[in-house]
Structure 1
Amino acid sequence: MSAIQSLSPRISVAPMMDWTTRDYRFFARLFNPNVILYTEMVTTGAILFGGANRHLDYNNEEHPIVLQLGGSNPKDLATCSKMAQDWGYDEVNLNVGCPSDRVQNNKIGACLMAEPDLVAECIGEMRNAVDIPVTVKHRIGIDDMQSYEEMLHFVDTVAKTGCNNFIVHARIALLQGLSPKENRDVPPLRYEDVYRLKQERPNLLIEINGGVKTFAETQEHLKYVDGVMIGREAYHNPYLLAELGQLWNLEMPNRFEIMDQMMPYIAKRMQEGAPLSIITRHILGLFQNLPGARKWRQALSGGNAKTFADVENAIVNIKDAMQRTEEYLKENELKANQTEA
């Protein structure tokens, strides 16, 4: 069993286009060593014809890390899976859940739920090409295929390949009637379908995805399934990842200590030519739900150091933002204590 397979429970951050970049993943890792991080979905065509380094490189600190692939050509998926293994990824995942028009037109994502035999062929080829785990992320249904029985048929068909790990987004996707954004919110969550899948297929590793926002919700799901995948909340409120460390009795890190660890990375990326704004957009949520959250966002957004030449100035600006936020938090804490007294 690989190290990633031995993680229990399996808690992960969902693959999110333009959000789960290598900069975000480095930041996220500072909150929790056990949370599994996913790349953005990368199509096989982008890897094979758009520059492998650009799409596959990551920071060593990101482990455990999963490459999510988009595609439906078994041979191409096998080739990219082998590349992922050679690159050092801990796992590779096939996207059968994305509802966007762009991926539908290329037979990628949620539309593949209508073709379980093709998905099984893809997974079979991928598994034959690598020694690392191969997993599937899918919806509970699409369009006219909305029944539990149809989802079960999909899972059973793919499981015959030997794949035993399914990450289930507990919403259907309406590919013809809703936008990708609406498909994340409008179809109702059907957690009970995912719970039932685990109950009826106890030999499979089943993870649930969709609408999870708190530690308490995560704990509740873990009564019924093997893992929980968290999406947008892990991005907008990254300290949730630290709170989830309680599942392994980990000590919760201090937000300011996390930023101290982030500073050398920011300087390194800027020295490589990355604009400051490309990095800081991922850390705006550090103080989410605290009184200083707005002050922090305003301080970072008001910085003027965005180029390679301003690395030193950028670090000064961020440290100043940290100091102002800390002072504001202490001031609010003092006021709260005086009010209680």
Structure 2
Amino acid sequence: KKWVRLTRLSWTLFSGNTIGWPEEKMLWSNNMGQYNFLIYVGCEEKPSTPSMSERVMTRIRKITKAVGAGEDKLFWLSKSLDTKYEEVDADITDSFLKDIEVILQSPFGGGPSRLWQHLSVNNMAREFSRDFSAVMINLHISTIIHLSEVSSVDVEIVALVGVCRKLSNYMMYLLATHPVMLQVTATSAKSVLQGFRKKFMMMMTGSISKPVVLQNLKELISKEDSRLSLPEPCKETLEEMRDMWVRIIIYAAGRSRPETHATQLARGREFLTFIWLLLAHKNLGSSTSFPIELISPPPNFGPYSDVRSYAFDFRQN
């Protein structure tokens, strides 16, 4: 209860005109962190005219690899050099607001049921509790592969690709740089990432070009988990992918502990903190009366004896 009161007080203070920011003004830096597995394995996006800092970072990576730095040092270096920030645009904001409202209504049977017709979300969601970090990394890599196969130049499709990429990279950013904020995984994301990188590097032959890397990742993913195979790229698949990542992030925000957000509120920076604040303002999340569970029980589970919210609710499907 005390966290609910504190959250509402924080929301009032931060959004008030007296000592905070007005609600119509942005409450955070309008950026979300980005971390991409491709860069971790050495497949860099090379700009046509790299800046001085980009040339320095490339040089540092080469020196580090040449001297045989261990996995821990390589991972630390990658986090330090490869973390980027992207704008939280209106498409992302609207997606979160829409899905939070759907989740808010779901315990009472009034929310529209999401039909996952293109992605095997039901099967994947039930695997999250087994090893959240590993499943997230597999999903992230599957997202990279899928987005690389989208060739449409339609404005709406291009925008969806951008949103999916940002959301996927943001979850990887949280796993790699802020694991303490995620109370949804018992396995170290660092160890899973390092293990995946080792497997990948063992099967890599020849130059590390993007097409070769993507093909090898596709083969590795199919060996790791065949359930993560993706259908042909289309608008509907991208919409489901966007909503899948939105709900995963909502679930992670709802499960996070209030105290982990204290320093982030002071900095006014972390996007997950403001998702958590919005959820708490709506009386959703582990610190409120209505925690968000990851996935609804199977149909044969029995009658529902209490009111619950689910990130992935299949009760009405």
TM-score exceeds 0.5: no
Higher strand share: 1
Instruction: Give the structure, 1 or 2, with the largest relative contact order (CA under 8 Å, sep 6 or more).
Output: 2
Q: TM-score range by the shorter chain?
A: under 0.3
Q: TM-score, normalised by structure 2?
A: 0.26
TM-score, length of structure 1 as denominator length: 0.25
| Structure with the largest fraction of helix | 2
